[in-house]
Structure 1
Amino acid sequence: MPLAFKQTILACVDGSTYSEAVRDFGVLFAKTTQTPLTLFNTIENPKTGGNTDLSGNITLGGRDDLLDALVEEERAKSKVMIDFGREMLERLKEGVEEGVEVASLQRHGSLYENVQDLEAQTRMLILGLSGQDHEGQERVVGEQVEEVIRSLHVPILLVNAPFKEPRKVMIAYDGSKSAKKALETVAQTPLLKAVERHIVCVESSIKKAQETLESAKPLMAGVEGKVHFVALEGEAVESLLGYQAKENMELIAMGAFSHNRLRDKLFGSFTAKMIARAGVPLLLLR
């Protein structure tokens, strides 16, 4: 099934903890970019065999009966998931304020395969992440979400907290190509037009951080609203998250990791550590 719009904010919902927050962020960015919103639900193939008794010897004549039972079980599970998804999409659509053009879409298959197929029509992707049950506990990022982040070339918002409209955003900056690109995106697009921006650089010394920030200042020339350039020293993740908490930033924006497909390198990356530990939504930009 194709998307209803040529360009859309694609908000992926599955009925879990942050589905309403994903929708609400979708509404916010749909309004700021004047782009339609699509609430998207995927139906993955259910795992068969959960309820069927496979114990004992299977006779030659009973094999077909068993296969029929497994097929019927899978069909029943799939129907339940489809019905649940449709009801959820309708409920979430009802909560979208008037004036926002919204559609819903349900597809079979994996999240990664579907969003990759829809990338050309997606202006921004919004995903919910599992929450943190205890303070200091790192968030586990699923393999499909990893693939989505690594492969797509659109802004991706990772939602890990209830919706709160951003008033201040921290933009992590290290002078790299991806950081400069992220800053250009923030400066040139209406995604974060009305917020107070804090461009934060962490280096081994304050002097070095200040020098790195010099390359950021021309990129933000002419940007509306308050812009602060902040130099910090220390370990990058600790320092950035400490500043975010101290200044009550509602959103973190940063460049995403590269296309390296090695899982161990991904999980050793700065981006992965920020995803695992941040307590506010992250906007990943390329």
Structure 2
Amino acid sequence: MSYVLCCVDGKNYSQSACDYAVLISNNMNLPLKFLNIVEHSSKSDKLDLSGNIKLGEKDDILEQRAEEEAIKSKLAIKEGKELLVTLKKRALITCANEITLIQIHGDVLENILAFQNEMAILVIGISSNENHKIGDNVKEIIREIHKPVLLVNSEFVTPKKLLIAYNGSEESKKLLNETSSKPIFKNVHRDIVNINEDKLLSEKLLNEAKEIYAKKDIEVETSVLSGDAKTEILIFLGQNDCDILAMGAFGHSRIKEFIFGSLTSDILTQCKKPILLFR
């Protein structure tokens, strides 16, 4: 059975991620699962290995590292369990569906991928607006997960307006089909924008988008924008008081992204509203 998967770590807007996950669980009428992943760290906070290791010291260093890792792991397990219990209590106030708590050890991406076939959507908190930097693990999750991913980077706000950036790509077509056929967000006003210097092509793409929603009797408003895609999307998002940005993710190969840059990465770094991504 499908479910909403909410991955939490206690650092990156976990409570907000919980609230969005509950909202989506209720909208889609699906069970909710909270996932806490305890990563194993091979780094030591106390050991200074910058100099040469003297003869006979290797075993002591390894033993000290093992003890330090064991302490870290126990603390992470304890804090993770406490977080899961706290979020379940929070979710039970308004969640109408079954709630499950899961704690797993190991790599974040590998463990999330293990849930991919059954989950309907992944909700995960990020701290992009604090450091203006997106971790590589978040980018890899977006690249590898072929399900909707909601990145929560701010306090929870009941969504009333959804901005959809549509460019006619396979990723953005999947976005339209998913958001029109499944009630991830209910009772929201939908704005669709296309950024293109070719006005005729832009209008053609927006009409295509309109038709997809029309099949589900969903009304939308469309706008043709021109200029830098990242800038225009963020300006429209702010000026029109949109609560969620939805867009396709990483449409180019890694080589093209390395040479020309990535719109997805730029948006993730600078957008101050939750982002719904489709890969």
- Alignment RMSD (CA, Å): 2.2
Compared CA separation, residues 158 and 216, structure 1 to 2 (3 A): same
Compared CA separation, residues 124 and 65, structure 1 to 2 (3 A): same
Deviates more, 1:68-77 or 1:264-273: 264-273
Partner SS, residue 275 of structure 1 = helix
Compared CA separation, residues 45 and 169, structure 1 to 2 (3 A): same
* Residues 67-216 of structure 1: pairs in structure 2 closer than 5 A: 67-96=62-91, 97-98=93-94, 99-133=96-130, 139-216=132-209
Deviates more, 1:197-206 or 1:245-254: 197-206
TM-score calculated relative to the size of structure 2: 0.90
Deviation at 1:58, TM superposition (A): 3.4
Deviations along 1:124-172, one digit per CA (max 9) or x if unpaired, are 1111111424xxxx83111111111011100000111111111110100
Deviation at 1:112, TM superposition (A): 0.7
Q: Is residue 4 of structure 2 the alignment partner of residue 9 of structure 1?
A: yes
Compared CA separation, residues 263 and 204, structure 1 to 2 (3 A): closer
Tell me if the contact between 1:150 and 1:259 (Cα under 8 Å) persists in the aligned partners. no
Deviations along 1:20-49, one digit per CA (max 9) or x if unpaired, are 001111101000011111111111112343
Compared CA separation, residues 183 and 141, structure 1 to 2 (3 A): same
- 55, 58, 83: which one pairs with 1:59? 55
In 2, Cα distance between equivalents of 1:231 and 1:197: 15
Tell me if the contact between 1:210 and 1:231 (Cα under 8 Å) persists in the aligned partners. yes
Structure 2 residue runs of 5 or longer lacking an equivalent are none
In 2, Cα distance between equivalents of 1:121 and 1:199: 29
Question: Percent same amino acid among aligned pairs?
Answer: 33
Structure 1 residue runs of 5 or longer lacking an equivalent are 1-5
Q: Is residue 237 of structure 2 the alignment partner of residue 240 of structure 1?
A: no
Question: Between Structure 1 and Structure 2, how many residues are aligned?
Answer: 276
Deviates more, 1:96-105 or 1:151-160: 96-105
Tell me if the contact between 2:213 and 2:219 (Cα under 8 Å) persists in the aligned partners. no
Tell me if the contact between 1:194 and 1:225 (Cα under 8 Å) persists in the aligned partners. no
Compared CA separation, residues 147 and 19, structure 1 to 2 (3 A): same
In 1, Cα distance between equivalents of 2:115 and 2:260: 26
* Residues 21-32 of structure 1: pairs in structure 2 closer than 5 A: 21-32=16-27
In 1, Cα distance between equivalents of 2:207 and 2:265: 26
Tell me if the contact between 2:32 and 2:100 (Cα under 8 Å) persists in the aligned partners. yes
In 1, Cα distance between equivalents of 2:205 and 2:251: 21
Q: Is residue 244 of structure 2 the alignment partner of residue 251 of structure 1?
A: yes
**Which letter does structure 2 place at the counterpart of 1:89?**
L
In 2, Cα distance between equivalents of 1:278 and 1:57: 47
- 261, 265, 270: which one pairs with 2:263? 270
Tell me if the contact between 2:128 and 2:268 (Cα under 8 Å) persists in the aligned partners. no
Deviation at 1:277, TM superposition (A): 1.4
Tell me if the contact between 1:171 and 1:197 (Cα under 8 Å) persists in the aligned partners. yes
TM-score calculated relative to the size of structure 1: 0.88
Deviations along 1:222-266, one digit per CA (max 9) or x if unpaired, are 434541111222221111111111110000111111473449539
